[in-house]
Amino acid sequence: MSSSSTPPSADVTAAILVIGDEILSGRTKDKNIGTIADMLTEIGVDLREVRIVPDVKAEIVAAVNALRARYTYLFTSGGIGPTHDDITADSVAEAFGVGIDVDPRARAMLLERHRPEDLNAARLRMARIPDGAELIANPVSKAPGFYIGNVYVMAGVPQIMAAMLDEIRPTLTSNAPVISETIEAGAIPEGNFAGELGEIAAAHATVSIGSYPSMTPEGFRNRIVVRGRDADAVAAARTAVEALLAGLRA
Amino acid sequence: MSSSSTPPSADVTAAILVIGDEILSGRTKDKNIGTIADMLTEIGVDLREVRIVPDVKAEIVAAVNALRARYTYLFTSGGIGPTHDDITADSVAEAFGVGIDVDPRARAMLLERHRPEDLNAARLRMARIPDGAELIANPVSKAPGFYIGNVYVMAGVPQIMAAMLDEIRPTLTSNAPVISETIEAGAIPEGNFAGELGEIAAAHATVSIGSYPSMTPEGFRNRIVVRGRDADAVAAARTAVEALLAGLRA
């Protein structure tokens, strides 16, 4: 697989940090990276890096600080439940050097789901929010996420993460959305067009041109995807790619 | 979601580096992380970190050098095809400070699939191997992966990556395999057992105890997973967790 680098016009960037031993053990297959990536592409934010780290505070703090400093937005998923080392909130507070305690707004949200007598110490962990953070509503199970600075902290359960993402999506700044056009190369082998495709990519530097082989029961099939923010530039690159493929089919 | 940290007896560690704009754009949903993670768990190697980076040489070089220095093994997927910026091999050569050129062994493998007259410059890119690297056979489409030092470079197409993983699996050093036992907590809410589960985790420090809620049409269901390398320690922790749950069901 290959593609040329992200269109140069991009300036609003993002990273994702997935937190959880269950992903690293393979026991749980991550679904959140793809969900967040799709949303960011739809609104024209360039996802530049993803990391997955274990439930280890020092690892989470180091990753949060590395990624929040480098990208416009950092989105995290996982580690905000009630159990002994749902430690994301405490780790984010440490990364920002702020305090953390039970937040009355978050506690009130938990009371929409739990009776006061059920709000034990474990459940109250889900109301621990770093000082200065704003809450992200959780329409599924109430326990909120939060954002502080440019870091958005969401749940790991995919249905809850997606609901939190819907909450914050309208608040995000974005680039011009990316236009993506797919050209079917069918069974033409990548190696037959790779050289000329590279020349086309070099001649159309403001767009991203990717070649994506996939294996089917009938053998390899290839797609070429042209992505960019300038409609004319995308159209011009598409025309060049189609001419290349037409020549190979002739 | 949560789990306590990886069992302390672990010393053989690994990281995964996924290379490709198509993953970051959401256009392709990664399958390789889960495949590699499952294999590493089966043979008892602790996957400690995953990164996904774009097709940008400086990003790949930085990630390769950060991860290969820190973990026993680094596995990469993506960016070894014939197109203009399948740049993983060149990036790995740069990370190691070695040269790279067409490798006669790799060229011979390509000739098992392609006629000599079809071995154009683009396809020969797939035979570019860093100096000192050993090849990883590709039974699917011949173009090989390679390993140099502790870095294993594999294809991005899942079927090819899996085949390459089968090739190298027998050569990997591992810890004692991890024993994993799953205890169904059913509909008992996480918040009802989280406090005592934390105490059990603290009292059984050589095992990893995770609590994994999932949403079903009937509402949340929870599983508790006990993982460790010592069968007696895993059994003791399992007994304690089952006693806790039995008390809550009573």
- The yes-or-no verdict on residue B200 having pLDDT over 80 is yes
Of B224, B226, B225, B230, nearest to B175 by C-alpha is B230
Q: What is the DSSP letter of A241?
A: H
**What are the residues facing B136 on neighbouring strands?**
B145
pLDDT tens-digit map of A64-82: 999 999 999 999 999 999 9
Which residues on neighbouring strands pair with residue B128, listed in sequence order? B102
pLDDT at A99: 98
* Portion 228-247 of B in contact with A at CB < 8 A: none
Residues 6 or more apart in contact with residue B90 via CB below 8 angstroms: B57, B100, B128
Give the residue-averaged pLDDT of A87-115.
97
Of B33, B84, B123, the CB nearest to A30: B33
Q: Is the pLDDT of residue A2 over 60?
A: no
Whole-angstrom Cα distance, residue A170 to residue A149?
A: 17
Cα torsion angle, A227, A229, A235, A241, sign: negative
* CATH 3.40.980.10 residue window(s) in chain A: 13-171
- Which of B23, B84, B161 to mutate to probe the A interface, most A CBs <10 Å? B84
Q: Where do the CATH 3.30.70.2860 domains begin and end in chain A?
A: 179-249
Chain B contact for A3 (CB, 8 A cutoff): yes
**Residue A20 structure tokens:** 């959880």
A5 touches chain B (CB under 8 A): yes
Q: Residue with structure tokens 């070429």? A: A224
Mean per-residue pLDDT for A16-36? 95
Instruction: Tell me the count of A-B CB pairs closer than 8 A.
Output: 254
Q: Return d(Cα A199, Cα B95) in angstroms, integer.
A: 26
* CA–CA dist B85, B156 (Å, integer): 13
pLDDT for B229 equals 87
Condensed to tens digits (0 to 9), the pLDDT of residues A209-230 reads: 988 888 888 888 999 999 888 9
Tell me whether residues B20 and A1 touch, CB distance under 8 A: yes
A52 touches chain B (CB under 8 A): yes
Q: What is the pLDDT of residue A218?
A: 84
| DSSP β-bridge partners for residue B154 | B77
Alpha carbons B114 and A113: distance in angstroms, whole number: 63
Give residue-wise pLDDT tens across range B57-85.
999 999 999 999 999 999 999 999 999 87
Residues 6+ apart with CB under 8 A from A19: A52, A53, A54, A55, A60, A76, A77, A78, A79, A88, A156
pTM as predicted: 0.87
- The correct answer on CATH 3.40.980.10 for the domain covering A13-171 is yes
CATH classification (class only), B179-249:
alpha beta
Does the structure show a pLDDT above 60 at B4?
no
B51 phi/psi in degrees, rounded to 5: -130, 145
DSSP state of B79: -
Mean pLDDT of B144-165: 97
